């Protein structure tokens, strides 16, 4: 068995033993392990998180390669959560990582036992399912963090963290606020990672839907396809991971 103290000696030097103890005990669930969620998952494992559940229904598609951690030409057609689990266990073989090839929806919500998690991370892009997840997770005892849209952006300096109702300049955030307000709001404050940069697609995208449907459990409720750069979703995911780390650090004091 690999010695975790050696793996995380630099982390422990910075954060202290109490942080390391708490991080290993925390139960975290990530909904969506694409361009945002996959990088968030790796940063959490590299930060000492010991229990991680990965939720995503898709298989790797060619169009994922430009931004998703486990997507390469060799992994086309493979299940994303299984691939990511394998990679994360190569980082920390002692971590307890549960892959769930599933879609979060009102019909499946109860199967995830959200009340058993210390942290719930929303990185999905289906608008209706995202609304339901945010409202449901906001009622749970665990801390909820959410990613807004990472597409149509190239400027890392425009990335922000704010409370859900204070997110400005993000079309996805605006759509979510409108729907959630009509449904009665959220039960508690939720920090979101977002960017107020909005660019336009310049290229053709008609080929993407067919390419994705060929290898994935395509969710027709997903947000419309937009262009993305390699690094922007990754920075969103890393920022989400940092919110978890900072919260655990605060609890360790």
pLDDT at 147 over 90: yes
Q: Band the pLDDT of 215: cuts 50, 70, 90.
A: very low
Return the pLDDT at 203.
87
State mean pLDDT over 118-130: 96
Looking at the 3D structure of the chain, how many domains does it have? Answer: 1
Per-residue pLDDT of 27-73, as tens digits, reads 999 999 999 999 999 999 999 999 999 999 999 999 999 999 999 99
pTM above 0.85, yes or no: yes
State mean pLDDT over 122-137: 96
SS3 labels along the chain: CCCHHHHCHHHHHHHCHHHHHHHHHCEEEEECCCCCHHHHHHHHHHCCCCEEEEECCCECCHHHCCCCCCCCCCCCCCEHHHHHHHHHHHHCCCCEEEEECCCCCCCCHHHHCHHHCCEEEECCCEHHHHHHHHHHHCCCCCEEEEECCCCCCCCHHHEEEEEHHHCCCCHHHHHHHHHHHHHCCCCCCCEEEEECCCCCCCCCCHHHHHHHHCCCCCCCCECCCCCCCCHHHHHHHHHHHHHHHHHHHHHHC
State mean pLDDT over 228-235: 97
Q: Residue 26's domain spans which residues?
A: 4-252
The CATH number linked to 140 is 3.40.50.720
Tokens matching residue 222: 């997903």
pLDDT at 163 over 60: yes
pLDDT at 220 over 50: no
State mean pLDDT over 220-233: 79
Return the pLDDT at 5.
87
């Amino acid at each position: 068995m690999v010695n975790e103290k050696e793996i995380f000696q630099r982390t422990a030097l910075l954060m202290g033993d109490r942080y390391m103890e708490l991080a290993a005990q925390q139960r975290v669930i990530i909904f969506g392990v694409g361009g945002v969620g996959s990088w968030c998952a790796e940063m959490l494992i590299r930060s000492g998180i010991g229990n991680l559940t990965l939720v995503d229904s898709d298989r790797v598609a060619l169009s994922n390669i430009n931004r998703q951690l486990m997507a390469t030409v060799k992994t086309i057609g493979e299940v994303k959560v299984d691939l990511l689990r394998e990679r994360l266990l190569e980082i920390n073989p002692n971590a307890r990582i549960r892959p769930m090839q599933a879609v979060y929806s009102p019909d499946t919500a109860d199967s995830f036992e959200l009340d058993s998690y210390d942290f719930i991370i929303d990185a999905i892009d289906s608008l209706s399912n995202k609304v339901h997840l945010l409202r449901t997770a906001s009622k749970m005892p665990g801390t909820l963090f959410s990613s807004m849209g990472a597409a149509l952006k190239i400027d890392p300096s425009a990335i922000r963290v704010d409370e859900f109702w204070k997110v400005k300049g993000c079309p996805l955030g605006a759509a979510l606020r409108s729907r959630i307000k009509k449904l009665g709001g959220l039960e508690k404050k939720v920090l979101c990672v977002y960017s107020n940069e909005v660019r336009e697609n310049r290229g053709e995208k008609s080929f993407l839907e067919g390419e994705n449907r060929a290898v994935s459990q395509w969710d027709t409720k997903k947000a419309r396809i937009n262009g993305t750069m390699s690094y922007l979703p990754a920075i969103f995911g890393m920022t989400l991971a940092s919110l978890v780390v900072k919260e655990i650090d605060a609890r360790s004091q």
